Structure 1
């Protein structure tokens, strides 16, 4: 499930670069997803 969320956020992030949609919200969500991913990797899940 985490990989699906990260994949969707990366696609939305790329659309944000290409079409300038949603401003900085996409970037904030991507950073949050990366932090959650790193925390899960450190905990070993």
Structure 2
């Protein structure tokens, strides 16, 4: 999931450099959402992965 976030971030940077503001804004929004979803899942896996039954 982190790779998807980085992919959309690179797409946004390239689109912004070429002057496509709308596409860049959309790609940055998607990258942010994917990054925060990745972050939440990572933290949850750290919390629940360490419990020993």
Query: Which bracket does the TM-score occupy, shorter chain normalised?
Result: 0.5 to 0.7
The number of aligned residues is 43
Distance (whole Å) between structure 2 residues aligned to residue 39 and residue 19 of structure 1: 28
Q: Name structure 2 gaps, 5 residues minimum.
A: 46-53
Distance (whole Å) between structure 1 residues aligned to residue 13 and residue 38 of structure 2: 24
TM-score, normalising length from structure 2? 0.51
Name the counterpart of 2:18: 19
| Bigger CA radius of gyration | 2
RMSD, aligned CA? 2.1
TM-score, normalising length from structure 1? 0.56
Task: Give 4+ residue runs of structure 1 displaced > 6 Å after superposition.
Answer: none
Deviation at 1:17, TM superposition (A): 1.3
Q: Name structure 1 gaps, 5 residues minimum.
A: none
